[in-house]
Amino acid sequence: MAERKRGRRSPLLAGRPSNVWHADIAPLIRGYPKTQEAFDKLQARCRAQVLLVNGAGKGTRRGGPDGFAHRKGDLEEARSAARVVARRTVKYMKEHDMIAPSSKASDADRAEIALEAAVEIVVATDNAGVYVNSSRDRQAALKTILEFTKAKPAATQNVNLSTAEAFLASLA
């Protein structure tokens, strides 16, 4: 399978810094500035355009996950709904003694805050039911939840059989 092309960058520019004008390749690449002054003018125009777009808040997601580039309202709505569910879930866990004990009271408070944040990350979905956070973030949050909760008691089985005949006798 052929290697996929990435962007419109010329192979002649590969490995060269992008913020420097290269006189040797100016006549070889169509659209490349022919003089240093034209290059500086193009750089200034691009820089001004980036500042304009970023100033309007459209050039960056600023804390928004993939898929929420221009949907900040939906994102905040989903996170606030998840925050309510997280508080309720941690309260239930505390009432049913599911949170691991700590030697200090301040550690218990921090554990509750961490649990609320982790549960919020796990349960946050938008109106369509799509998870707000990536699966990697949700798995990390689940790992944090497991660190702060008590382990389930292990189920024990009596397996003291010495021979195959004893095993078959125990099944009968």
Q: What is the tens place of the pLDDT at every residue in 114-133?
A: 899 999 999 998 888 888 88
72 with 110: CB under 8 angstroms? no
pLDDT (mean) for 95-101: 84
More confident residue, 1 or 149: 149
Taking the C-alpha atoms of residue 116 and residue 134, their distance in angstroms, rounded to an integer, is 18
More confident residue, 61 or 55: 55
For the chain, the DSSP string reads: -PPPP-SS--GGGTTS-TTS--TTTTTTSTTS-SSHHHHHHHHHHHHHHHHHHHHTT-S--SS--TT-TT-HHHHHHHHHHHHHHHHHHHHHHHHTT-BPP-SSHHHHHHHHHHHHHHHHHHH-B-TTS-BSS-HHHHHHHHHHHHHHBPPPPPP-------SHHHHHHHH-
Return the pLDDT at 162.
64
Return the pLDDT at 74.
85
Instruction: Tell me which residue of 53, 54, 19, 58 sits closest to 39, measured CA to CA.
Output: 19
pLDDT band at residue 84 using 50, 70 and 90 as cut-offs: very high
Domain residue ranges in the chain: 13-55, 72-148
Q: What is the pTM of this model?
A: 0.56
Return the pLDDT at 153.
66
pLDDT band at residue 44 using 50, 70 and 90 as cut-offs: very high
84 with 119: CB under 8 angstroms? no
Mean pLDDT of the chain: 82
98 with 149: CB under 8 angstroms? yes
